[in-house]
Amino acid sequence: MAQFNSIEEILEKYIPKEELQKVHRGLYGFDIQDPSHYLKFDPKVKGLADQLKLEVKSFRFPALAEELRKPRIVRIGAIQNSIVEPTDAPIRAQRDSLIKKISSYIAVAAECGVNALCMQETWNMPFAFCTREKHPWTQFAESAEDGPTTQAMRQLAARYNMVIVSPILERDESHGDTVWNTAVVISNTGKVIGKTRKNHIPRVGDFNESTYYMESELGHPVFDTQFGRIAVNICYGRHHPQNWLMYGVNGAEIVFNPSATVDSLSEAFWPIEARNAAIANNYFSVAINRVGTENFAHEFTSGDGRSAHHDFGHFYGSSYVTAPNGARSPGLSRVSDGLLVVEADLNLCRQVKDQWGFRMTQRLDLYAESLAKAVKPDFQPQIIAEK
């Protein structure tokens, strides 16, 4: 099936303008054709983006003016990208070409005034975990603290006064050279604040990731930065509401969800999960997906009776941001590299908490008690049948 660019383009093509406003309000929570919802950038941005063939989209989420708190305006950036070199090119060439590419995109983000930025899952390599092959793919793994990718991102973070979340394949040399799916959080000062790891590992279709790494033991850390309290829910963790919940419990205001997922598997889920999380937990969620189709030299199967194949499927991009009140931005393209820049007032997090009372009515004590029972070997579900 031929790929299409975006749902927004299809809606605009076939729905009359007056009706389209109603559709947009229902789908996004705003009339997204209203120009007041978009940011204006220096013309230099368009020139840079055109040169790089980079789609740049923007959106603005307002909050109510308060008497006792100043606005806490933050510009959030999300980058989605395709690989540069073919997957059979030398490892260093693949990695370095992506570092060069993303560095140029980060420069555009800086021109857009981005304060906190995140890339897609394992952005500096192909998503090769479908192959089940350890080599050469584990050669992409590097130190989270001082590997070449982190060193490059530290320089850019300091240069642009930008918090950068860099999801990579980590090699933990201090613990037996184990491999982890990790996001490194780098301060706008250029220092590594810390790291977090993928809490939930898929075992579905071609997602054979448990062949390479296991579930995180680092919990649900939230990183206190100059531009808000940030957390990272890596990819498959978005399917687990409890995962999203804990970042909210720990005080996150922005939760990035760097992902790698394909159209044949999850596209129906994609617009829903991160949006639901933002609503339920009163924070901004940032869903980021890679884009393009990556082909591998050796065929692999999916364990579902289909013929062996050389590619994972189409990574459909469509990155977007949702506000705590459930309004969401339009998505980036399904087929091309993109930068999404969203201006958010973090005061909206508390304002929505006050309006809806989700945290006040959350009943964590009730669920803590119930879950403590559910994990015991002698647990019996609370089912009541007619006598």
Known catalytic residues are 121, 198, 235
The dihedral built from the CA positions of residue 71, 72, 73 and 76, taken in this order, carries a sign that is negative
**Contacts (Cβ under 8 Å, ≥6 apart) of 215:** 198, 199, 200, 201
Structure tokens at 136: 């050469």
In contact, 8 and 330? CB cutoff 8 Å: yes
Q: What DSSP element (H or E) covers 369?
A: helix 364-374
d(CA 280, CA 270): 16
d(CA 293, CA 349): 37
Q: How far from the centroid of its chain's Cα atoms is residue 119's Cα?
A: 7
Burial class (CB in 10 A: 0-12, 13-18, 19+), 148: middle
- Which whole-number Å values give the CA distances from 192 to 69, 106, 157, 196, in the listed order? 30, 17, 10, 12
The residue written with tokens 């206190």 in the block is 224
Q: DSSP state, 84?
A: S
SS3 301: coil
CA proximity to 225, closest of 184, 183, 188, 182: 188
